[in-house]
Chain A
Amino acid sequence: MRPRSPLRQRLSRLDAQVSPYAYVSPFFLLFAVVGLFPLGYTLWVSLHQWNLIGGQGAFVGLKNYTDVLGQPFFWNSLRNTLSIFLLSSVPQVVFAVLIAAALDAGLRAKTFWRMGVLLPYVIAPVAVVLIFNDLFGDRFGLVNQALGWVGLDPIAWHKDTLASHVAIASMVNFRWTGYNALIFLAAMQTIPRDYYEAALIDGAGRIRTFFSITIPQLRATIIFVVLTSTIGGLQIFDEPRLFDSAGQGGADRQWQTLTIFLYNIGWTQKNFGRAAAVAWLLFLIIIVFALVNFVVTRRIASRESR
């Protein structure tokens, strides 16, 4: 060790004390401006009359909230959001686990298969919607033509409520299933192989080991994937917004989601007070659903592990 002068020693102690704050401060300063401040300010805006051009008006208390809750379109968009969310997250988790199980089965050229599964992830949601809009065309779309080949009637993907939700959910699933499959795959690889070996010796088949070992061992990962897809799924905007060129979520708002509703109130009707109220309501809904999901998935997963 090199001998040091008292001044150098004091400087180096100062350095050790101050530097950590210097390194975290850029994050916190920027975050305060672009993350934290808007959060609180949204609450403030939501309690006032406020429009895009005139700015802040009178304090109105909870009136923006009661106004929003009194609109049938709010409840309609809430229903649509939940329906699209269920249609996308449930099949997505199921398929992701199945794909992961296939990827975990000792393949040749495993990097090739993993990359192939991940490919949709790099395609922007906007691009995915435009492609699927063509595939789900009401008259000449490939999906309807294929239905015709097997003798089924064409489906009105851009009119029928449930059909539009299925089409939109399929876009979400296209982009995210492979991504989630890789997360499940990683978790599967941490399951000790001895478990499978023991199960085999006990005479369990592939399906039995899948349900009795693989699924229970994936518990934490399933909860994680369900939570992230809840937070993302309830905010869905790109896919339903671009599902037709008008962007209203359908002629009868068949696929208008909460975020489209928020956007329309804020930027079409230019009522920022109400838009901020919708933002807070959306946040509360997400919290409630994340909690419900957490409890439900944990219960399901732990019952299976018993």
Chain B
Amino acid sequence: MSATPVLPVRSAPTSDAGGPAPRRLTRRVARRAQASPMAYAFLVVVLLASIFPLWWSFVIGSKDATAINSGSVSLIPGGNFLANARTVVDSLPFWKAMVNSVIVSTVVALAVVLLSTLAGFAFAKLRFRGKEGMLVFVIATMAVPTQLGIVPLFIVMSKLGWIGSLGAVIVPSLVNAFGVFWMTQYLKEALPDELIEAARVDGATVFRTFWNVALPAARPGAAMLGLFTFIATWTNFFWPFIVLDPGNPTLPVALQQLQAEYYVDYSLVLAGVVLAALPLIVVFAVAGRQLVSGIMQGAVKG
């Protein structure tokens, strides 16, 4: 539940070049192929808007309370970030929250990738009775909102005695319909039927075919699914907020406590925001290119 990455439906691969170069290349078309200064100017503004809130939280997070309340605006960071960060870390179970977030996001991402690849392989490449119906069912459940199930899910978790434990966050997210659909679509295209046939002719078991043929072909799609699931789980708030207690939070739940505690002292609140955002910014720096192409691959063809 609730860790569904909001990725669009994959259908057709897109090319960066936008098709073959037109043959009748007039001068005007050639000029059109280059971005106008207007486009650059517009994108610079968009980029500044993307970066500014983050920069601002670092600026405020690095000042002391008196500097902020003086009322003067400055975009230059002060020297207090480490002191603020230490206060935040000391007053919250911050490291615990960090470790919890890593555990929850990693376990959920791995489980979703594994189970989705298994099911996606069966749906994309194997023949069995009831397949079409099952696949339609999987797709239909993607539209059901997470909120619908939280009351009974909470009742179940409290009957199991899991409230306050990470299991209550992890278990409902272990599967998601979107992941199955994504891997099904991916393997349909990425894995040629001839390879499956060849493996069968060679006498490989279905599992060997999965392990030696399907899994290597699935890797890029699976990596993408894992990345998006990781981010969705890391940033998820609603369900962890309901089932976890303040002593054992994930990062978003801990951050929310920060606001309740230091409502007036935004230097501390925003220092905490920066600390909590750092891991995902690192992920973004390393895998941002893949994230971009993952979204682009997923788009619906018109």
Instruction: Tell me which residues across on chain B come within 8 A of A130, comparing CB atoms.
Output: 57, 255, 258-259, 269-270, 272-273
Q: A245 touches which one: B131, B259, B302 (CB < 8 A)?
A: B259
Interface of A is mostly: helix
Residue in chain B with minimal CB distance to A227: B143
Within 8 A of B (CB), among A1-40: 1-2, 4, 12, 15-17, 19-21, 23-24, 26-28, 30-31, 34-39
Q: Does A116 lie within 8 Å of B47, measured CB to CB?
A: yes
Q: Does A267 lie within 8 Å of B149, measured CB to CB?
A: no
Within 8 A of A (CB), among B1-48: 1, 6, 8-9, 12, 14-16, 18-19, 22, 24, 26, 28-29, 32-36, 39-40, 42-43, 46-47
Q: Does B46 lie within 8 Å of A99, measured CB to CB?
A: yes
Contact status of A131 and B270, CB under 8 A, knowing A186-B298, A245-B259, A245-B260? yes
Is A283 positioned at the interface, with any CB of B under 8 Å from its CB?
A: yes
Q: Give the distance to chain B from A160, nearest Cβ to Cβ, in Å.
A: 20
Binary CB contact string for chain A from 239 to 275 against chain B (1 if under 8 A, 0 otherwise): 0001001000000000000010011001100001001
Q: Give the distance to chain B from A65, nearest Cβ to Cβ, in Å.
A: 14
Residue in chain B with minimal CB distance to A19: B206
Residue in chain A with minimal CB distance to B131: A20
Instruction: Tell me which residues across on chain B come within 8 A of A267, comparing CB atoms.
Output: 242
Is A280 positioned at the interface, with any CB of B under 8 Å from its CB?
A: yes
Contact status of A235 and B252, CB under 8 A, knowing A107-B39, A189-B14? no
Contact status of A279 and B116, CB under 8 A, knowing A20-B122, A20-B126? no
Interface of B is mostly: helix
Q: B40 touches which one: A107, A125, A221 (CB < 8 A)?
A: A107
Binary CB contact string for chain A from 105 to 126 against chain B (1 if under 8 A, 0 otherwise): 1111011011111111111111
Instruction: Tell me which residues across on chain A come within 8 A of B24, comparing CB atoms.
Output: 197, 201
Measured CA separation A10–B109 after assembly (Å):
37
Q: How large is the interface on A (under 10, 10 to 19, 20 to 34, 35 or more residues)?
A: 35 or more
Measured CA separation A190–B40 after assembly (Å):
22
A sample of 24 inter-chain contacts (CB < 8 A) reads: A4-B203, A24-B134, A26-B175, A34-B149, A45-B155, A108-B35, A115-B289, A117-B50, A122-B283, A125-B237, A126-B235, A126-B255, A127-B57, A131-B270, A145-B73, A182-B296, A183-B296, A183-B298, A186-B297, A194-B19, A197-B22, A234-B145, A245-B259, A276-B152
- A residues with CB within 8 A of B: 1-2, 4, 12, 15-17, 19-21, 23-24, 26-28, 30-31, 34-39, 41-42, 45, 55, 98-99, 102-103, 105-108, 110-111, 113-128, 130-135, 140, 142, 145, 174, 178-179, 182-187, 189-194, 196-197, 200-201, 206, 217-221, 224, 228, 231-232, 234-235, 237-238, 242, 245, 259, 262-263, 266-267, 272, 275-276, 279-280, 282-283, 286, 290
